[in-house]
Amino acid sequence: MISVLRQPDMTEQDRGLSPLVTGIKGRCPRCGEGHIFSGFLTPADRCESCGLDLSFADSGDGPAVLIMFPVGTIVVLLWLITDALFGLSFLVHILLWFSTTIILSVLLLRPFKGAMINLQYKAGAIAGGGPGERDDT
């Protein structure tokens, strides 16, 4: 038997808000105004603007996995290009590309996590991981 996920009920505030744009900005998926993070990567309990309960927000390792592939590709390509052009020593390469990897990963992690949380909201995610009704109180 094939089950179809229910389309989430969209309030007037939901219409027109892109989950990717609001997620990258770290804003609430329902109102687009409040912040979804209470720390650098810690999801807030509620939106301070509209009061949306953010207990459904569990992005897990998804953002980290999505960041590994482009960052790894960029760093390896740049390593090969600079080695072919300049012939830098191994120690210089390690220092340069290790720091580049860390900086790119940290800069991309928060926007990717925000986008994933907002996409979960748009898909109707609830706390506990199962499909079903969500409480938009």
Give 134's pLDDT tier (boundaries 50, 70, 90): low
User: What's the pLDDT tens digit per position in 32-81?
Assistant: 999 999 999 999 999 999 999 998 888 889 999 999 999 999 999 999 99
Give 137's pLDDT tier (boundaries 50, 70, 90): low
Q: How many distinct structural domains can be found in the chain?
A: 1
Identify the pLDDT of residue 16.
73
> Which residues fall within 8 angstroms of residue 26, CB to CB, at 6 or more apart?
35, 36, 37, 110, 111, 114
The C-alpha atoms of residue 20 and residue 116 are separated, in whole angstroms, by: 8
| 79: exposed, middle or buried (Cβ count in 10 Å: 0-12, 13-18, 19+) | middle
Is 128 within the bounds of a domain? no
Which residue range forms the structural domain that includes residue 74?
19-122
User: What's the pLDDT tens digit per position in 93-127?
Assistant: 999 999 999 999 999 999 999 999 999 998 887 77
Identify the pLDDT of residue 39.
92
For residues 46 and 135, the answer to whether their CB atoms sit within 8 Å is: no
Is 129 within the bounds of a domain? no
Q: Give φ, ψ of 10 to 5 degrees.
A: -105, 125
Identify the pLDDT of residue 107.
95
Is 104 within the bounds of a domain? yes
The C-alpha atoms of residue 11 and residue 13 are separated, in whole angstroms, by: 5
Give 136's pLDDT tier (boundaries 50, 70, 90): low
The C-alpha atoms of residue 126 and residue 123 are separated, in whole angstroms, by: 9
Closest CA to 63 of 24, 14, 21: 24
Is 4 within the bounds of a domain? no
